[in-house]
A and B are shown apart, each in its own frame.
Chain A
Amino acid sequence: MRKALLIALLLAPSAAIPVVMSLAADVTPASEMPATGSIGKTEGLAAWKRVEAVLTHPRCANCHVGPDNIPIWTVAGEKKSRPHGMNIHAGESRIGAETIACSTCHMTSTAPNKLAHAPPHVGLDWQLAPVDFVWYGKSGAEICAQLKDPQRNGGRDATGLVEHLRHDADVNGFIPWAWNPGGGRETPPGTFEDHVKDVAMWGAAGQPCPE
């Protein structure tokens, strides 16, 4: 469950990752959380809107798909998303174990993603996020409700979500990769550090969700 949540963000150039990692080593999640109650609801909702813009971006949502287990592609240079080419079906295993493993093409590697149209790779084994964490095609309000629910977010409180982001950066995982995907792929708005800050602010405001 926890491992699978590491796919919180999918589908981004690599020179930034070492910077992220060095920052991660100096910061503890608890210390970067604003004090509970120090962020008002209005500010918290504004932070959520920025988080939502990241989570619904193709780099992040394309592997947070539902029980059909079919990852989504948004090809570099295109806006329209479509089912992953090559008839890919990740199966109930969510790693393609039943027929063709994600790792057949998506290596586990910390090397930069340089080749256009080549399958991207990160420092973790490629996989879909758990089916409970579906984001693709969901509204911001639905994603918000899922993300604040420990039953559907890997058992995390607000600090735990920030810790998850930092841990993922430590292992060259999917989340920082979203802002450094290589191959001409588009990136979500802002930076990884902006995203961590916004998740922390949203958490300190009591994780308010849009109506």
Chain B
Amino acid sequence: MIELTVNGEKRQTDVSPDMPLLWVLRDEFGITGPKYGCGIAQCGACTVHINGVAVRSCQARIGELGGAKVLTIEGLGAQSLHAVQRAWIDHQVPQCGYCQTGQIMQAAALLDKTPKPTDEDIDMAMSGNLCRCGTYVRIRAAIHAAAEKL
């Protein structure tokens, strides 16, 4: 049995230790904010925080996450919307929306480490999160706006 904390709640699972966290979140725990995009950490749609660090959950094996604290988009805005989420709404960032939970989790992790990021910082931190709708300009603007609110 593997125990971990997801969005502040203790969870247990007895799935195969090889199962990626993304599968556990979506299929075992019913937490569907993190999305499956590529399965090989090339797109960023599955991004969650593990112990405060943005991680591609498709690459994290559940058997190596015992005791970990996992935060998904559902937990990020559980009490009140995170500044990044508010900025996303203000700037109407999403188009289709599929990649956006990963984008927001990556952006929130960036602002945790770098509260006032430059354009270059944003480009470096966000380049692993792909958006086929091309919302990158609005993503950058929203991150700057969120940084002003934090």
Contact = CB atoms under 8 A, between A and B. Distances in A.
Interface string B56-67: 100111001000
A19 interface: no
B123 interface: yes
B140 to A, nearest CB: 13
B114 A98 contact: yes
Contacts of B42: 117
Interface stretch (B24-32, B78-86, B91-99, B124-132): B124-132
Contact of B41 (A89, A105, A109): A105
A34 B40 CA distance: 44
Interface residues of B, number: 25
Given A103-B55, A104-B54, A119 B124 contact: no
A47 to B, nearest CB: 38
A100 interface: yes
A121 B64 CA distance: 13
B141 interface: no
Question: Chain A interface: which size bin?
Answer: 20 to 34
B123 A117 contact: no
- By secondary structure, the A interface counts as loop
Interface in B45-59: 47, 53-56, 59
A56 B35 CA distance: 39
A111 B40 CA distance: 15
B59 A107 contact: yes
Contacts of A115: 39-40
A99 B56 contact: no
Contact of B124 (A87, A103, A116, A121): A87
A97 B110 CA distance: 10
B124 A88 contact: yes
Contact of A86 (B47, B55, B121, B127): B127
B10 interface: no
A111 B18 contact: yes
Interface in A71-107: 86-89, 97-101, 103-105, 107
Contacts of B123: 87
Contacts of B128: 86-88, 100, 104-105
B43 to A, nearest CB: 10
Nearest to A118: B40
B55 A118 contact: no
Interface of A: 86-89, 97-101, 103-105, 107-109, 111, 115-119, 121
Interface of B: 18, 39-42, 47, 53-56, 59-61, 64, 106, 110, 113-114, 117, 121, 123-125, 127-128
12 contacts: A87-B123, A88-B128, A99-B125, A100-B124, A100-B127, A101-B53, A105-B56, A105-B59, A107-B55, A118-B41, A119-B40, A119-B41
Given A87-B128, A88-B127, A103-B53, 9 more contacts: A87-B123, A87-B127, A97-B113, A100-B54, A101-B53, A104-B54, A105-B59, A118-B39, A118-B59
